[in-house]
């Protein structure tokens, strides 16, 4: 298999998904402050070099500002979060269906996001090492569906305007069929794999993750494949995840096994995620979407980090 770090022209180091929204904050505002972002980055700095961010919004601008002013050693996979351009009547929760007027606005918004992504890539070329034109916009259950032809168009647009490698971040399943033409356009393929969402027990988790990864990597042997999301929740109200299958111990087991495998195989892997995010999902406190962090929302470490934080990564 490919050494994905070498293929991307970067040095091997650990990677994590970062979204710093705390209680009362969410995409669209209010956003984390400079000092809050600085606190987060200093917590993460000893352990991770690569951060994945989801949108080129005010939060991302603050992160870039902190990294630059505080002279921190992070490198970013910077994303542009694309909104729905088509209705998805298969979406299993509220959302997925919009007025024609809203869809037209989203098309214009998405194009402006691509322009912003290019602008940031050029302005922060020393910090941003790769770019993504969207996140989970092609999977069957998404509430922000974008046709694969438009995704390929956005990839070409960003590649024409920026020097960094360009990808699209998506669950592993669409890469087998719908995204074949997108795979021809991207510089590297980004997959998401969540055994716990597919009702796998912790004992099956790593083997299932490997199965997901290699199924895509073997389909596209000439293109690097990066894992841009893989994680294990620590709480659940039963919505999509069996509560007995998520806890801090299982998260620690999955993290350690996943990192051991991907370190050995030199597969860049962004663990999902750094901090719990209260804004996500339903209002229920045990909604699983809120509980993927390796740190709690108050920035105290979960079990996995109580051991891992003793280790450091040279930045």
Domains of the chain: 4-308 (3.20.20.80)
What is the overall mean pLDDT for the chain? 96
As given in the structure block, the two tokens for residue 96 are 């997925």
Percent of the chain with pLDDT over 70: 98
At 32, which helix (H) or strand (E)?
Answer: none
Instruction: With a cut of 60, say whether residue 314 has pLDDT above it.
Output: no
Q: How far apart are CA 139 and CA 92, in angstroms?
A: 12
HEC string of 126-156 equals CCEEEEEEEECCCCCCCCCCCCHHHHHHHHH
pTM as predicted: 0.97
Cα–Cα–Cα angle for 48, 308, 4, rounded to 5 degrees: 40
3-state secondary structure at position 168: strand
Question: Is the model more confident about 307 or about 306?
Answer: 306
Residue 190: per-residue pLDDT:
98
pLDDT digits (tens, 9 = 90+) for 45-102: 999 999 999 999 999 999 999 999 999 999 999 999 999 999 999 999 889 999 999 9
pLDDT digits (tens, 9 = 90+) for 119-177: 999 999 999 999 999 999 999 999 999 999 999 999 999 999 999 999 999 999 999 99
pLDDT digits (tens, 9 = 90+) for 174-212: 999 999 999 999 999 999 999 999 999 999 999 999 999
Q: What angle do CA 105, 85, 95 make, to 5 degrees?
A: 95
Query: Half-sphere exposure of 290 toward its Cβ, with a 13 Å CA cutoff?
Result: 20
The predicted structure's pLDDT at residue 311: 65
**Alpha-carbon gap, residue 209 to 85, rounded angstroms:** 30
Residue 264 pLDDT exceeds 80: yes
For position 94, what pLDDT does the model report? 84
Angle between helices 202-217 and 248-265 (to 10 degrees): 30
Helix (H) or strand (E) run with residue 104 in it: helix 100-123
Q: Which phi and psi (to 5°) does residue 230 adopt?
A: -160, 130
Alpha-carbon span 49 to 211, nearest angstrom: 27
Confidence of residue 312 (pLDDT cuts 50, 70, 90): low
């Amino acid at each position: 298999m490919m050494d994905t770090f070498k293929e991307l022209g970067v040095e091997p180091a650990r990677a994590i998904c970062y979204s710093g929204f705390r209680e009362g904050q969410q995409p669209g505002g209010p956003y984390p402050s400079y000092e809050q972002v600085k606190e987060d980055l200093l917590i993460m700095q000893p352990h991770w070099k690569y951060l994945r961010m989801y949108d080129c919004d005010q939060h991302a601008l603050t992160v870039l500002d902190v990294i630059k002013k505080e002279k921190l050693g992070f490198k970013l996979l910077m994303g542009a979060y694309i909104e729905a351009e088509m209705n998805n009547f298969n979406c299993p929760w509220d959302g997925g269906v919009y007025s024609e007027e809203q869809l037209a606005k989203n098309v214009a918004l998405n194009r402006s996001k691509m322009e912003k992504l290019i602008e940031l890539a050029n302005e922060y070329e020393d910090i941003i090492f790769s770019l993504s034109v969207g996140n989970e916009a092609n999977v069957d259950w998404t509430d922000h569906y974008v046709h694969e032809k438009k995704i390929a168009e956005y990839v070409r647009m960003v590649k024409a305007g920026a020097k960094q490698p360009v990808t699209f971040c998506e669950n592993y399943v669409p890469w087998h069929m719908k995204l074949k033409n997108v795979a021809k356009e991207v510089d590297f393929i980004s997959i998401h794999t969540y055994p716990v969402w597919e009702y796998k027990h912790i004992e099956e988790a790593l083997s299932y993750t490997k199965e997901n990864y290699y199924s895509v990597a073997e389909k596209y042997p000439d293109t690097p494949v990066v894992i841009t999301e893989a994680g294990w929740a620590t709480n659940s109200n039963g919505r999509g995840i069996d509560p007995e299958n998520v806890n801090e111990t299982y998260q620690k087991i999955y993290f350690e096994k996943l990192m051991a495998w991907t370190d050995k195989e030199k597969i860049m892997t962004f663990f999902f995620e750094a901090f719990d995010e209260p804004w996500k999902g339903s209002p229920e406190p045990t909604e699983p979407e809120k509980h993927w962090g390796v740190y709690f929302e108050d920035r105290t470490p979960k079990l996995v980090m109580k051991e891992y934080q003793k280790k450091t990564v040279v930045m």
